Amino acid sequence: MDGDCIFPHRDKEAIRNIEKRNRSMKSRDSQQLDSRVRRRWRARLLSWYAHNRRDLPWRSDPHPYRVWLSEVMLQQTRVAAVLEHYHRFLQRFPTLEKLAAARESSVLASWSGLGYYRRARMLHAAAKTIVKKHGGEFPGSVAELRSLPGIGRYTAAAIASIVFNVPVAVVDGNVERVLSRALGISGTETVWAAAEELLSRPRPGDFNQAMMELGATVCLPRQPQCPICPVFTFCASRGSLEPANTVLRQKQREISYTLDRRDKSIFLVQRPKDASLMPGMWELPERLGIQEMSPQAREGVTFRLRHSITVTDYVVNIIEGSTPTGTLGQWVEKRRIARLPLTGLATKILRRARVI
């Protein structure tokens, strides 16, 4: 790595050029990078990525099935949370064919804990389509990838560039933040166009992953690490331009569930197949809210835990005892529970209770 890459703030000529260009931008909507600056951006970013990229399993083995699985799992989910589920899912479904042949309930059971279960259903549907229409061979073009269930613009571009070296840019939340700050731009199509302009055509997969890595580890939402940014000298904002997003306050809610044991079985209920959230998933029977419970019932709480879903933080009370009369459900042997598609909260409760 050359001195410029290690100490980007020393490039005084580049800084003067950027400042001059930024002054001329005031009457324009976005910043255009000349070909010389684009070349330097690519070189610095790729050099930085080679020395600083995280060691992630789908990077060491960029097989289309594994890259696709990782991209779907990483949607709205942190890398740390994905790693454990990624390995466990591949143990259960090591190949595309195994996934396509599986029952949906088995796929959902292996997905349990990641949330956003529609992703798992679309993953399963796409696997079936690839096996049936493409003979088990993963399509390599962006257009073909986008025709598969659950694969949109970003995921298609990511798979095509990382696996098949197709020269197409990606824009996820991290890339959008980097380009919005660096170029002083906004708007979905504007950002996508800028990403295409910057893209390294000979190394699109590495470049796209480098851009995402930069946003995930350096150009952070609240505390950008500008001093260690490899493209700091090309940045219009130096981290000062923050999106004017409204920060939603987390709602607070308290809920209660019954943990009913009988011999080697647990009483579980299944969500309706047509439910808007997590249809067909299994969970513990819910009780009255803690506010509606009698003082005696309050004292009978066995344990509590916390759980978050999107904008709501839950305090969850678990009461061991008999399920209220009339509750529709069934007794499930403990050895079978782990194979059921459980909700993430049910999984958390049953693990805490040492049932699974």
Residues marked as catalytic: 71
Nearest to 18 by CA among 1, 49, 41: 41
- Residue showing tokens 């009978």: 300
Please give the angle made by the CA atoms of 158, 164 and 165, to the nearest 5 degrees.
80
Euclidean distance between the first and the last CA atom of the chain, given in angstroms as a whole number: 49
How many CB atoms are located within 10 Å of the residue 218 CB? Answer: 21
Residues with Cβ < 8 Å from 167, sequence gap 6 or more? 161, 199, 201, 204
Residues in the chain: 356
Backbone angles phi, psi at 267, to 5 degrees: -85, 120
Nearest to 72 by CA among 38, 107, 103: 107
> In the structure, how many helices (H) and strands (E) does the chain have?
17, 7
Q: Rg of the chain's alpha carbons, rounded to an integer?
A: 25
Cβ(229)–Cβ(191) below 8 Å:
no
How many CB atoms are located within 10 Å of the residue 23 CB? Answer: 8
Cβ(149)–Cβ(129) below 8 Å:
yes
Structure letter (DSSP) for residue 284? P
What are the beta bridge partners of residue 258?
A: 319
Cβ(269)–Cβ(282) below 8 Å:
yes
